[in-house]
Amino acid sequence: MSDSDSYEKLRMQLENMNWPEIYFFKFIVPNDSELVAKVTALFDEGTDLRLQQSKNGRYISVGAKEMMISPESVIQRYKEASNIKGLIAL
């Protein structure tokens, strides 16, 4: 499945929600301070961020709850995150 297909499927799911809405993002990145900083920089200062190291210490899970205004704003955030090397979006 291509990225555009994935985003279109996500857009269809998001359109069933009432906007604005608090949206929960979850990303996994290799345990590298530069990569973690890039992921956390995607979010505003008031965002509820939670970082958790994997059991073996090789990865960091980044959870973020943020008020989003529309499905397009969520998709835009995922597109920005997709430029981070090694990132997995859940």
Helices (H), 1-90: 3-14, 33-40, 71-81
Q: What is the pLDDT of residues 41-89, one digit of tens each?
A: 999 988 999 999 999 999 999 999 999 999 999 999 999 999 999 999 9
Per-residue pLDDT, 2 = 57
In CATH, what is the architecture of 3-89? 2-Layer Sandwich (3.30)
Label residue 40 by pLDDT band (50, 70, 90): very high
Label residue 6 by pLDDT band (50, 70, 90): confident
User: Where is pLDDT greater, at 67 or 3?
Assistant: 67
Indicate the domain borders of the chain. Answer: 3-89
Cis amide linkage into residue 20, ω under 30° from 0: yes
Per-residue pLDDT, 1 = 44
12-17: long-range contacts at Cβ-Cβ below 8 A with a sequence spacing of 24 or more?
14/71, 14/74, 14/75, 15/71, 17/71
